[in-house]
Each structure stands twice: as structure tokens, then as C-alpha cells.
Amino acid sequence: MDPRSRPYRSVLYIPGSKPRALDKARGLPVDAIIFDLEDAVSADEKDNARDTLKEALAQGGYDPRVKIVRINGLETDWGADDARAVCDMDVDAVLLPKVGSAADIDALAKITGDLPIWAMMETPKAMLNAAEIAAHPLLTGMVMGTNDLAKELQTRFRPDRLPMMAGLGLCLLAAKAEGLVIVDGVYNAFKDDDGLAVECAQGRDMGFDGKTLIHPAQVAVANTAFAPSAEEIDLARRQIAAFEAVEASGQGVAVVDGKIVENLHVVTAREILAKAQAIEALQAG
Ligand SMILES: CC(C)(COP(=O)(O)OP(=O)(O)OC[C@H]1O[C@@H](n2cnc3c(N)ncnc32)[C@H](O)[C@@H]1OP(=O)(O)O)[C@@H](O)C(=O)NCCC(=O)NCCSC(=O)C[C@H](O)C(=O)O
Ligand SMILES: [Mg+2]
């Protein structure tokens, strides 16, 4: 199944150590959840968090959201135990932090077998090796780790994210070339809805499938930003209708709102409608 056939507008991190947040997530309208054992969990809590998460997932209540567990790196004291534990959890994928190369994905797959893998793209080495990481046969998704990337690049946080653009662009190219899901990094100021909306719009325009989030208050903004708008849906329908009409008369180019519509635009229009339908189905289900 094409991993991009499901919506990924909102992808919420939930600390695996927080039972209250794990419970809260059962009622949140997010498209996907990253159950976190890495940076949201302190060293003292790591082992307990693994057990707490295992219990929460066994209880269930998270479907139909996509369920992903972010483990600690395999070079840490906890990574291998996390990876073994994930094999016994009912999840869709395992997320490996600080991936540097395709060899890191191979090392995880030795433990997790054929479970789909997602990669945190958050180091300069990952940006430079994005193509080989994306081409790994078990990889189905990428998550931008913009906090770690900023740290490694020694950049300042800027609203336009100019210092990150090269890295974001390389990962987008790699993910799109391989048909992977790719979601944007988090927006740290979780009470600033306006700033979040600006960053979501930028990510959406660049081609990200959605945004990773750290707080329930961010969900609605991301869900709106990454869904096709009513205007986009209307335009897509009119483009398809106009193109089918000219095609029936033996021509290959239609004009809608003063702009040409060719076969390739119709492909995009159909993708927009399919995405809108997938979102509707998710909300209904
Ligand atoms: C940021 C927070 C520490 C704030 O927590 P808190 O003070 O508890 O917030 P609220 O009181 O406003 O919470 C209201 C209710 O919502 C629940 N809650 C809060 N956060 C979450 C969540 N992420 N998922 C589900 N539910 C959540 C609270 O439990 C309250 O519930 P209730 O009492 O029942 O009403 C906190 O939001 C937080 O810890 N967020 C997650 C932080 C995190 O995951 N960080 C790691 C990921 S970011 C990262 O690592 C990026 C990447 O690697 C990079 O490099 O960029
Ligand atoms: Mg990180």
C-alpha cells in the first residue's frame, strides 16, 4: 500500500512516560501519533516509559491513527531494548532518531525485522545522505528534527527558516523521489497559534505532508493547514471537468480561470480530491 494514501496532517509526539498524555491522545483528532521514548523522556524514566507505553498500546484506543514509536538511538543504553520491545507492540512503524546513513537503518532492521521504519532527519550527515536513506527498502517515512538540526548547524531560529532550507529541501527531494511520507519539524512555541500557522503554511507550500506537534493545542491549526481548502477542492473539480470536456473533443489543453490545464494538472487535481476524501473517511471513522 502506498504509505502516502493516509493523511499525515497532524503528527503528535506523546512522551511515553506520561500516562495522562497517553490517555488524552485517545480522544484527539490527530492523523498520526509518535509515542516517544527518546527526547521527551528523561534518563531516569527510560525503562519505566517503555513499560508504560507497552501497557497503553495493549489497552488500545488509538486506531485509526497511524501509530509510530520513536526509540532511543541504538548507540545509547536503551536503544536495543526499545527496539526489541517495539516488536511486541501493535504499531505501524518504528522511528529511529539521529539517523546518519542507510547502514543505521540496516542495524535497526536486524532487530525489528520487516517492521516499517521511519527516520528522524536531524543531522548534517543525514541531509547529505538523504537519498541513500530514503532508498532503503524498509523506509516508509521521514520526520524533520529541526531542533537537533538547528543545534548541529549552529543556526539561529528565524521565522523564515532560511538557514534550514538547504536541509529541508534535500530531505524533501529524497522523500519525494522514493514515494515516502515526509513531515515537517515541530514549532516549539506551543501557545503561539499565529506563528504555527505561518510555519505550517510554509511547510505545506514546500510539499511536506504534515507537521509534527508537541501539544494538543496545535492539532487544529495543522489539520487545517495541510488539508485541501474548499477553494482548492472546487478548482480541482472544475479543472477535471474542463479537461475531460476538451479531451472529448480531441484537444489536450483546457483553460480554467485564465490558466492552462493539461494532463499533469489533472493528476494533481485528482490527488487533491483523493486527499480530501481520505480526510473525510478518517473523520467519519
Ligand atoms: C510542552 C508540554 C511539557 C506542556 O505540558 P503541560 O504543561 O502538561 O501542558 P498542558 O497543561 O497545557 O496540557 C493540557 C492537557 O494536554 C495533555 N498534553 C500535553 N501535551 C500532550 C501531548 N504531547 N500529547 C498528548 N497530551 C498532551 C496534558 O496531559 C493535559 O491533559 P489533561 O490534564 O488531561 O487535560 C507537553 O505538551 C509535552 O511534554 N509535550 C511533548 C514534548 C515532546 O514530545 N518533546 C519531544 C518531541 S520534540 C522533538 O524531539 C523534536 C525533534 O527530535 C527535533 O530535534 O526537533
Ligand atoms: Mg531531535
Answer yes or no: is pLDDT of 2 > 80: no
With a pLDDT cut of 90, the percent of the chain lying above it is 97
Report pLDDT for 284.
Answer: 87
Answer yes or no: is pLDDT of 20 > 90: yes
> Is the distance from CB of 223 to CB of 10 less than 8 angstroms?
yes
DSSP-based helix, strand, coil % in the chain, nearest 5: 50, 15, 30
Report pLDDT for 38.
Answer: 98
In angstroms, how far apart are the furthest CA atoms of the chain?
Answer: 70
Task: Compute the distance between CA of residue 1 and CA of residue 277 in angstroms, rounded to an integer.
Answer: 17
Report pLDDT for 107.
Answer: 98
The 10s digit of each residue's pLDDT in 31-84 is: 999 999 999 999 999 999 999 999 999 999 999 999 999 999 999 999 999 999
Is 148 known to sit in a ligand binding site?
A: yes
Answer yes or no: is pLDDT of 128 > 80: yes
**ipTM score assigned to the predicted complex:** 0.98
> Is the distance from CB of 198 to CB of 187 less than 8 angstroms?
no
Atom of ligand 1 nearest to the CA of 13: 44
The 10s digit of each residue's pLDDT in 197-239 is: 999 999 999 999 999 999 999 999 999 999 999 999 999 999 9
Task: Compute the distance between CA of residue 197 and CA of residue 39 in angstroms, rounded to an integer.
Answer: 24
Q: For ligand 1, say whether the CB of 20 is within 6 Å of any of its atoms.
A: yes
Is 75 known to sit in a ligand binding site?
A: no
Answer yes or no: is pLDDT of 247 > 90: yes
C-alpha 146 to ligand 2 mean position (Å): 7
Average pLDDT, the chain: 97
Mutation test residue for ligand 1: of 22, 152, 215, the one with most atoms within 8 Å of CB: 215
Report pLDDT for 145.
Answer: 98
CATH number listed for the domain at residues 3-225: 3.20.20.60
Sorting pLDDT into bands at 50, 70 and 90, what band is 5? Answer: confident
Task: Compute the distance between CA of residue 209 and CA of residue 86 in angstroms, rounded to an integer.
Answer: 25
State the DSSP string of 231-271.
Answer: HHHHHHHHHHHHHHHHHHTT-S-EEETTEEE-HHHHHHHHH
Q: For ligand 1, say whether the CB of 16 is within 6 Å of any of its atoms.
A: no
The 10s digit of each residue's pLDDT in 88-121 is: 999 999 999 999 999 999 999 999 999 999 999 9
